[in-house]
Structure 1
């Protein structure tokens, strides 16, 4: 490594400023590189990962589709027999169980799997044989952490563990610490242990009646995934003949299958049934972009201060040239100094990364270690970073420095042509980036706050939900009656849809002969159930119709009684009704014999993220449902919530995983990605502002030092400190004002594209842009004032003796 020159040692302040800026920029860049590398390698560690696929199902109705992670339960056998390119197939099903030995049970995520599961998705075992661990009908493999929880320091192999109210399992293997995967689990159990509930004991059903089984296949070496995908439609038609009444009116199949490459699932594939959140490409792009911008600001800082200091090194350059140094030698020397400084900055960056790691992990929601920097493509990246950064930051200053002519230097006429213009451009660029990130941060935060409340079609405040209730045994109706009499409970309803629920449903309806609709058949309507109190509990707004007949109760519905339904405005429009009121009184036929009468139309109700268009919803009024929603009285609701939870536990003492929570918390969870992107922009935007002003601090110090004599003369002829301040402030705030003009149109367009993915969105308020620009200007003025006030306040005599 080239030793730092005497000049850099003598000007320690500017060297440290450069070193700090480079260290922060490099640390941000390498931290993000670590995160991107870790996210990009999820599920790539399996043997033959490039030949592993998940077979996902898709239900198609009326030109709309529901993309599922599940597939027909009996799929593996026919697939391996009829599609020669598939050499192995296996199934698993996600579950959450209470696992342990009485009386101690622990909630765990577990997979029920076929005997060959660990041979297809070969998660490594520390102990046990993957070929036989799940072949035993009661076998289970557990993680090392779970084994310690269950058995302490005792040898877990061969010991038994029980699923509360379920199977007794025998430990047949210990999983090595699994790498991050699209599957998250603490145990994998033989599916046969479920006994009567196992796949082998399930009655044959239509392939469109898809339950929770997920199928994975491994293709043979050299097999074409495209050939398999092309064979799937005919394969489905053989086992599930198309029904023209179910699909789009032709002989197309309601069910289709697709191949999801396993290494792509985590980042690129989203489907109904994913119980663990995958990665987010958008977040990676935001992180990568802002990290490069931060690194760019750090490089620009070095370039700026190096060119600003160039005049102070003119005499050194002149002497070196007089004793025979060539320009290319000087370029190499000064570039080498920059590379050496960048190398020191990289070392400092590693220390900063260690300090910043906890905060960065909280920001991205993932555990990350520095160890991966020493392997794969990250090692060459880390080694190349100081070289690339040093050359990018130091090459132009080296050209400026090496361009001085000895004669001009010795006569005191040395100039650095164009360097001041380059510095101005770089300062404008730095502040443009800072301002753009601030505008983006403010807009993202406004958008997230807006979509959580705007356009919902119901009142989310004080709604409390209990989910995953067992159905079919009548307990829910009795519980509802008891909860309705609790102090602090204003209303209670049962339904099979609540906000942030992942359920989807698509149905088709025949319309009556004398319909007021422009259609004879309506397709792609999402049908859910709610009882007679559902709309009042949610505070939905009725826009047409009189609602249910007086005194009618959903629990009275049977084969002979009327069936009623309420549509949303979007559903009425999808069904071809010009006005919402035209749908009221219409009788719809889903199965040809049992009509459903529309008794009302409500304003659109948004149960999913605002990224989705308004859903065409039909609510059939029926008793029961797996979700119970309560509207609580305003004020302190803790006592009421405790009473509700006690009542639920009394009615369902043997049921695990009832999910409790407020609706506004569920809605907030829909925007986790956007909120994280806003936090990333805020953190890195603040870093960009600090770095940009760090550079401005150094430039101001250099300029103030060079103009010390000028300032002294101005003070002698009567200029005050405020006059000097205005003079210097204008010089350094002009680039910030210009940066606003550069940043605003660019960030406006970027945010326009980002906001376009939402059906409900905020306007790009001019005040947001002005506030970000004003903040950047104020911070810049404070930075400039630190030096200018110090120099301008000095006695003129001292200033005149300077130099």
Structure 2
């Protein structure tokens, strides 16, 4: 019965039914695409056999009140954790590495994990070939991904073949990993740690627990044991194995602590120094999910609007059904069934739309997705439930309106839909409020991203070219810098241990001189890095106090009698207790137990990390070496200069296998990929919301114009012009859009205020942004209304008078 009724309505109300179907299909497609992405992200690392009992033992150092959170812990944790913590059922280790892997003369840079023999039994990544219990038992064993096996061996059987680590051991392939689901670990191969010989954990010299390296320890808790119980015993466990360590230079105690990170939560929620792979972005996930629900809500509101607006045209049908005995409950079920049926057809169309939109959506979220996931896990029930939920939400109220008509009033021509007009007005306001809010959010996020990339950096990022991860070699570094400085198009060059978008951390605590001008006697939480004498000129930093380094002075590596200098940032000077930057100049600090270091100047704060973080107190120790080379290029065509720079670096560092080359502004942009993605999300879904809202408005205008055709004809007969009629009807639809602005603006302002608070440098919420979004929504709405009104008002009045 609903199918027959739907096709009857489709034949009589083709335009509105088509608009309803298109709107629902677009809304459902957006909702399901986002559901696909959310399911993929939330499901990371949940496929392990005992995922609910797997944890990573992470470390953290407290230094003078400042905390450094790390993903790794002491190397020797695995030796004692099972004996001293009986709640732990199994323990394993891995250490991420980046190596050149291959055979013969063919080598490829790959992510590799050095691991304990039982690694694949604790974190049971699926194997396509091989046995997890024995795959890493051999001292030279390695398991590889299917893609790496194909790269190295083509279609040949990889089992038993050997792989060479350049400048390292020869490994034997003992297994092939099945396609790896997304994980917090990124790797192409897993090798037995024993293959490293003297560098393996079993042969390495015992180290104090305070000397944490890059070894990650994973534990599987015994069944029924809570993580809280184990976490409560960790402080005593750490205390038994560590003694308080004093920071070199007379500072505070360095306190090590351990924590349990649930493996299934690492990807989405655990932020720590040294993470092997990029984590998920919770904020982007929440924003996407929220916006997708809003879009689906707009589509459902469209259906409700259009269905109630065309209810009067079905009044005679309702009257006849009631006269022949139909009850209101039956009519509600009938009309709601029509809505569910239309939502089912829209869902089928949505799946086709998803196939078309998938490439663009993957670029938007930066992930590869497959529609096949819709038929797996929790997504299949969601897919099946969507038509029912959408149909009921969109069709139940119109069904109540339709079933409420009284046969007597219908047959006398006095049928009305009490309250339906007010509900439609509310829904139109809600639709346009969502559209305006998304447009404001898009403009504000884009302004914020542009602002943080250019303002408050404390240096000039344009025309800076960077080489990262240079091998530590003072002599070669000096040669490199000298050769680079003479290249055509090079303005300046500098070596340093800190560059933009570098996750390095180094917190120092040291005592100040007895005759200091500081209000403190001990400096805590200062981030110290090395930079050469040309660093500040290369970066274009602004000196705010002191004269800087002595004219012609150059740092002498290894000469303990040579004078030593440091440059502080303003935040560092304040953190060290100096009331004015000038007070820090000339102070002699004992840093890292070396010869006293004199503060030669104070520069404006320099931001090398994201603006989400507060300004770090930086101290630059002037030294002649560093693993990063920054080159300032002359403006203009820089291709020849970059080519020459690359040639010099490749010639001097033939052994540098993991060099990274990039312009500094590109690295700064990488810090804000999440925000840029959010801006694109708002833009894409804001545009979709506008389209959906105006689809609904288009249908409402068509129905309104059709119902008032005779009135329009009479107005034309008595002399009204097309412009007069346009103004008359346009005002009817302008009021909800203007009201939508009043609803959207305060809510959007509050939401964006909360979002902007995470940045230390942020834009103001400009009133012009809100007005521009409101004006655009109004302009599009008026254009949509004008299409119908002009067509009807321009028709000959005689036809309009004969309409009914």
TM-score by length of structure 1 reads: 0.98
Q: Which residue of 2 aligns with 1:157?
A: 159
How far does residue 623 in structure 1 lie from its aligned partner after superposition?
1.2
Q: Structure 2: how far apart are the matches of 1:591 and 1:539?
A: 28
Q: Structure 2: how far apart are the matches of 1:515 and 1:187?
A: 55
CA shift digits 1:158-195 (9 cap, x unpaired): 01111222221111101111111111111111122222
Q: Structure 1: how far apart are the matches of 2:772 and 2:280?
A: 33
Q: Which residue of 1 aligns with 2:114?
A: 112
Change (3 A) 1:157 1:270: same
| Corresponding residue SS for 2:245 | coil
Q: Structure 2: how far apart are the matches of 1:469 and 1:593?
A: 25
How far does residue 406 in structure 1 lie from its aligned partner after superposition?
1.0
- Higher mean C-alpha deviation, range 494-503 or range 193-202: 193-202
Q: Check the 8 A contact 1:247/1:253 in 2, yes or no.
A: no
How far does residue 222 in structure 1 lie from its aligned partner after superposition?
2.2
Q: Structure 2: how far apart are the matches of 1:557 and 1:780?
A: 73
Q: Structure 2: how far apart are the matches of 1:247 and 1:541?
A: 29
Q: Structure 2: how far apart are the matches of 1:329 and 1:101?
A: 75
Q: Check the 8 A contact 1:76/1:91 in 2, yes or no.
A: yes
| Corresponding residue SS for 1:452 | helix
Q: Check the 8 A contact 2:374/2:383 in 1, yes or no.
A: yes
Q: Structure 2: how far apart are the matches of 1:88 and 1:169?
A: 26
Q: Check the 8 A contact 2:493/2:631 in 1, yes or no.
A: yes
Q: Which residue of 2 aligns with 1:432?
A: 433
How far does residue 203 in structure 1 lie from its aligned partner after superposition?
3.1
- Higher mean C-alpha deviation, range 193-202 or range 230-239: 193-202
CA shift digits 1:717-746 (9 cap, x unpaired): 111111111111111111111101110000
Select the residue among 61, 69, 72 that pairs with 2:74.
Answer: 72
- After the TM superposition, which residues 558-597 of structure 1 pair with which residues of structure 2 at under 5 Å, given as runs? 558-591=559-592, 594-597=595-598
Q: Which residue of 2 aligns with 1:2?
A: 2
Q: Structure 1: how far apart are the matches of 2:767 and 2:334?
A: 48
- Higher mean C-alpha deviation, range 534-543 or range 78-87: 78-87
Q: Structure 1: how far apart are the matches of 2:465 and 2:796?
A: 70
1:518 aligns with 2:519: yes
Q: Structure 1: how far apart are the matches of 2:803 and 2:433?
A: 36
| Corresponding residue SS for 1:59 | strand
| Corresponding residue SS for 1:527 | strand
Q: Check the 8 A contact 2:102/2:165 in 1, yes or no.
A: yes
Q: Structure 2: how far apart are the matches of 1:622 and 1:532?
A: 7
Change (3 A) 1:43 1:767: same
1:102 aligns with 2:104: yes
Q: Which residue of 2 aligns with 1:332?
A: 333
How far does residue 474 in structure 1 lie from its aligned partner after superposition?
2.0
Q: Structure 1: how far apart are the matches of 2:569 and 2:481?
A: 25
Q: Which residue of 1 aligns with 2:555?
A: 554
How far does residue 781 in structure 1 lie from its aligned partner after superposition?
0.9
1:695 aligns with 2:696: yes
Q: Which residue of 1 aligns with 2:40?
A: 38
Q: Which residue of 2 aligns with 1:668?
A: 669
Q: Structure 2: how far apart are the matches of 1:94 and 1:591?
A: 29
Select the residue among 221, 233, 236 that pairs with 1:219.
Answer: 221
Q: Check the 8 A contact 1:26/1:295 in 2, yes or no.
A: yes
Q: Which residue of 1 aligns with 2:60?
A: 58
Q: Check the 8 A contact 2:51/2:263 in 1, yes or no.
A: yes
Q: Structure 2: how far apart are the matches of 1:301 and 1:670?
A: 39
How far does residue 81 in structure 1 lie from its aligned partner after superposition?
2.3
How far does residue 589 in structure 1 lie from its aligned partner after superposition?
2.1
Change (3 A) 1:799 1:593: closer
CA shift digits 1:231-262 (9 cap, x unpaired): 22222222221136679988x75211111100
Q: Which residue of 2 aligns with 1:486?
A: 487
How far does residue 77 in structure 1 lie from its aligned partner after superposition?
0.4
CA shift digits 1:351-393 (9 cap, x unpaired): 1111111111111111111222223222222111111111111
1:374 aligns with 2:380: no
| Corresponding residue SS for 2:606 | coil
CA shift digits 1:327-371 (9 cap, x unpaired): 111111111111111111111111111111111111111111122
Q: Check the 8 A contact 1:435/1:743 in 2, yes or no.
A: yes
Q: How large is the Cα RMSD of the aligned pairs?
A: 1.5
1:176 aligns with 2:178: yes
Q: Check the 8 A contact 1:4/1:337 in 2, yes or no.
A: no
Q: Check the 8 A contact 1:124/1:178 in 2, yes or no.
A: yes
How far does residue 87 in structure 1 lie from its aligned partner after superposition?
2.3
Q: Check the 8 A contact 1:463/1:631 in 2, yes or no.
A: yes
How far does residue 622 in structure 1 lie from its aligned partner after superposition?
0.8
1:194 aligns with 2:196: yes
1:613 aligns with 2:614: yes
Q: Check the 8 A contact 1:134/1:190 in 2, yes or no.
A: yes
Q: Check the 8 A contact 2:478/2:625 in 1, yes or no.
A: yes
- After the TM superposition, which residues 259-338 of structure 1 pair with which residues of structure 2 at under 5 Å, given as runs? 259-338=260-339
Q: Structure 2: how far apart are the matches of 1:363 and 1:415?
A: 47
How far does residue 556 in structure 1 lie from its aligned partner after superposition?
4.7
Q: Structure 1: how far apart are the matches of 2:249 and 2:387?
A: 60
Q: Check the 8 A contact 1:96/1:108 in 2, yes or no.
A: yes
Q: Structure 2: how far apart are the matches of 1:432 and 1:279?
A: 30
Q: Structure 2: how far apart are the matches of 1:397 and 1:738?
A: 24
Change (3 A) 1:472 1:231: farther
Q: Check the 8 A contact 2:566/2:597 in 1, yes or no.
A: yes
Q: Which residue of 1 aligns with 2:792?
A: 791
Q: Check the 8 A contact 1:557/1:563 in 2, yes or no.
A: no
Q: Check the 8 A contact 1:557/1:622 in 2, yes or no.
A: no
Q: Structure 2: how far apart are the matches of 1:243 and 1:101?
A: 45
1:421 aligns with 2:409: no
Q: Which residue of 2 aligns with 1:82?
A: 84
Q: Which residue of 1 aligns with 2:467?
A: 466
Q: Which residue of 2 aligns with 1:19?
A: 21
Q: Structure 1: how far apart are the matches of 2:103 and 2:4?
A: 66
Q: Check the 8 A contact 2:507/2:525 in 1, yes or no.
A: yes
Q: Check the 8 A contact 1:4/1:341 in 2, yes or no.
A: no
How far does residue 446 in structure 1 lie from its aligned partner after superposition?
0.4
How far does residue 197 in structure 1 lie from its aligned partner after superposition?
2.9
Q: Which residue of 1 aligns with 2:412?
A: 411
- Higher mean C-alpha deviation, range 640-649 or range 583-592: 583-592
Q: Check the 8 A contact 1:459/1:538 in 2, yes or no.
A: yes
CA shift digits 1:264-285 (9 cap, x unpaired): 0000111111132111111111
| Corresponding residue SS for 2:629 | strand
- Higher mean C-alpha deviation, range 292-301 or range 159-168: 159-168
Number of equivalent positions: 802
- Higher mean C-alpha deviation, range 187-196 or range 641-650: 187-196
Q: Structure 2: how far apart are the matches of 1:371 and 1:133?
A: 31
CA shift digits 1:673-695 (9 cap, x unpaired): 00001111111110000000000
How far does residue 591 in structure 1 lie from its aligned partner after superposition?
4.6
Q: Structure 2: how far apart are the matches of 1:96 and 1:558?
A: 35
Change (3 A) 1:246 1:331: farther
Change (3 A) 1:683 1:329: same
Q: Check the 8 A contact 1:573/1:580 in 2, yes or no.
A: yes
Q: Structure 1: how far apart are the matches of 2:177 and 2:266?
A: 22
TM-score by length of structure 2 reads: 0.98
Q: Which residue of 2 aligns with 1:504?
A: 505
Q: Which residue of 2 aligns with 1:776?
A: 777
How far does residue 102 in structure 1 lie from its aligned partner after superposition?
2.0
How far does residue 202 in structure 1 lie from its aligned partner after superposition?
3.1
Q: Check the 8 A contact 2:713/2:797 in 1, yes or no.
A: yes
Q: Structure 1: how far apart are the matches of 2:276 and 2:127?
A: 24
How far does residue 13 in structure 1 lie from its aligned partner after superposition?
1.2
How far does residue 560 in structure 1 lie from its aligned partner after superposition?
2.0
Q: Check the 8 A contact 1:43/1:182 in 2, yes or no.
A: yes
Q: Structure 2: how far apart are the matches of 1:494 and 1:593?
A: 21
Q: Which residue of 2 aligns with 1:748?
A: 749
Q: Structure 1: how far apart are the matches of 2:41 and 2:436?
A: 29
Q: Which residue of 2 aligns with 1:166?
A: 168
